[in-house]
Amino acid sequence: MFTKDWIRSWVVHEVCRGVNGSVKGGIPWGVVSVLLLGMGIVGHGWSLGSDDPWHVMESVSASPAQPMISGGSVDGVCPERPLSVPLGLFEAVERALCSNPKTKGAWADVKASAEAVGVAKAAYLPTLNGSVQYIGEHIGSQIINQPSLDSPHNEHVGTQTLSLNWVLFDFGGRSANLESAEKLLAAAQASQNVALQTAYINAAKDYYAAVSGLSRVQAMQRVENDAHDSFMAASLRMEGGAANVTDMLQSKTAYTMAEYNRVKAEATYRSALGSLAVDMGLAPDILITMPNISDENPMAPKFITSIHELIEEAERQHPTVLEAQAQWESAQAKVRSIQSEGLPTLSLVAESSRNNQPTSVQLGSPELPAVTRDNYLGIKLDVPLFEGQARGYKVRQAQAQADSQREAMHDAEHQVATAIWTNYQDLLANGQNLDITRDALDAAQQAFIVMQTRYKSGMANILELLNTQQALAKAEEQHVEAQTDWYTSKLQLAASLGNIDLVSASTYE
């Protein structure tokens, strides 16, 4: 029924009406002038009527995924459109970033940290409190053996008070708190970047799991077709009397196993599609068309650069390192804040109050209506004198926590360097393996064609044909795996460098 704004407005009205009234002697207008001056000059653009007078929410993105998708979508807004055919990595990652609960949680953390900055800035403004009190009371005084002096009566008393407190100087306490809050905001923003990149990588892995699943299904279909050709060749030779039933049965067994592997690959592919759909915030049974994976190895000198340069750059720019660094700097500011709490504080204080408590000239005399006013304006100095040595303990505790954060920052640098080195080596190895498996697949295909021809002409036995056929199936599977490893390792290295974004997704398609 009574809103917060209504109650605030009513209290302000009653206080101002009471302390100023229609008579002289209300709250000194100098106090009001100082108050309004202070509320107007602290911080450019500060506005009393705004929910965010310090504009701290301007540092918060409009959506959980905007820091990464703003380069791809208009205003960083997640688009609503049908799935593309075939589905590209860019679109898959974009949709995943928009629906990932961890990115939403990180976004909420940034908002909370931004609000904390607003709280720290608010400490530079004065506090103004108003109170209104209305009391109905019955007062009765009985004088022993002097009934004529008794004074029973009822009265209604109203009191209105307006008080001001403005910290003018505190030896850097507020500035340290503000710096700590701003560093925590920077840490939250870096953490949001980490969450976005993690979601990016997870979605990309599921995307390539689906792409490789399709490639594996296609490879198993080719193997099945080859096994069927071998089975038909063995059956024809058996019918013509050139081979015994054993050849036909062995080739049929190989053909049946190829069918089994193809069905298994199709099930794995459908599972990968479902996982990718869930990543994108869609139902797992939605129809998704995946592209064929590229069989090229674009190992460019620009991408494969000095490992030393990669590590140095990442130690400066990786969001994990930036988050740890901001946490350390915030802890250092917290030390200064705790130190300042043990130092004097200088404040401007003012108060104006009014009440209509009746008064009497002397004991036993009738009470007369009256208005009492109390106004003051002054300077207040608070000096902590003794805290049981607690201040020293608090400072040393905060310093130890800052030291811990510093080591956490160094640990983050070491982890980033290790990840870059490992992923760099994996990329080199996977690039070489892609070439090796491609050559092995070409050789296995040619060997199978030759052996199949030899078997049909009676120059090779069924075991030679099946061994060659099995080698081809193995080469097909290894090549699909090498393709997946190559694309995944590129993404992993980019993630360990900390510079991945949605626009770069087209680089890895």
Is residue 354 within 8 Å of residue 373, measured between CB atoms? yes
Maximum separation of any 2 CA atoms in the chain, in Å: 145
Q: Which residues pair with 359 in a beta bridge?
A: 368
Tokens of 20: 């100023």
The pLDDT, as a whole number, for residue 469 is 94
pLDDT of res. 505: 55
Determine contact, residues 127/166, Cβ cutoff 8 Å: yes
Q: How many residues does the chain have?
A: 509
DSSP 252-273: HHHHHHHHHHHHHHHHHHHHHH
Say how far residue 139 (Cα) sits from the centre of its chain: 63
Residue 223 to residue 483: CA distance in whole angstroms:
18
Q: Do 54 and 182 meet the contact criterion of CB atoms below 8 Å apart?
A: no
Whole-angstrom distance between the N-terminal and C-terminal Cα of the chain? 58
> CB-based contacts of 143: which residues, under 8 Å, 6+ apart?
149, 150, 364
Q: Quick one: pLDDT at residue 346?
A: 94
CA 50 to chain centre: 26
Question: What order of strands is seen across the sheet that includes strand 345-355?
Answer: 127-139, 153-169, 345-355, 372-382
The answer to whether residues 188 and 110 touch, using CB atoms and an 8 Å cutoff, is: yes
- C-alpha to C-alpha distance for 424 and 426, rounded to whole angstroms: 5
Nearest in space to 491 (alpha carbons), one of 476, 474, 477, 509: 509
Three-state secondary structure string covering 156-186: EEEEEEEEEEEEEECCCHHHHHHHHHHHHHH
Alpha-carbon Rg for the chain, nearest whole angstrom, is 39
Nearest to 291 by CA among 96, 144, 142, 87: 87
- Tens digit of pLDDT per residue, the chain (509 long)? 445 554 555 444 544 454 444 334 444 444 444 444 444 444 444 555 568 888 899 889 888 888 876 544 434 456 678 898 999 888 898 888 888 889 889 999 999 999 999 999 999 999 999 998 888 777 667 777 777 666 666 777 888 999 999 999 998 999 999 999 999 999 999 999 999 989 999 999 999 999 999 999 999 999 999 999 999 999 998 888 888 899 999 999 999 999 999 999 999 999 999 999 999 989 999 999 999 876 555 444 344 457 788 888 888 889 999 999 999 999 999 999 999 999 999 999 999 998 887 776 665 566 677 888 889 999 999 999 988 889 999 999 999 999 999 999 999 999 999 999 999 999 999 999 999 999 999 999 999 999 999 998 889 999 999 999 999 999 999 999 999 899 888 888 888 888 776 655 555 55
d(CA 155, CA 73) in angstroms, rounded, equals 70
CB atoms within 10 A of CB 37: 10
CA distance 380 to 265: 79
Peptide bond into 86 cis (omega under 30): yes
480 closest CA partner among 262, 214, 276: 214
C-alpha atoms less than 13 angstroms from C-alpha of 83 in its C-beta half-sphere = 21
Query: Are 233 and 455 contacting, i.e. CB atoms less than 8 angstroms apart?
Result: yes
- Beta pairing partners, 283: none
Task: Give the burial class of 89: count Cβ atoms within 10 A of its Cβ; 0-12 exposed, 13-18 middle, 19 or more buried.
Answer: buried
| Superfamily in which the 62-125+172-343+391-508 domain is placed by CATH | Outer membrane efflux proteins (OEP) (1.20.1600.10)
The Cα 321–Cα 325 span in angstroms is: 6
CATH 1.20.1600.10 maps onto the chain at 62-125+172-343+391-508
Question: Contact, 206 vs 276, CB < 8 A?
Answer: yes
CA distance 18 to 16: 5
pLDDT (0 to 100) of residue 163: 94
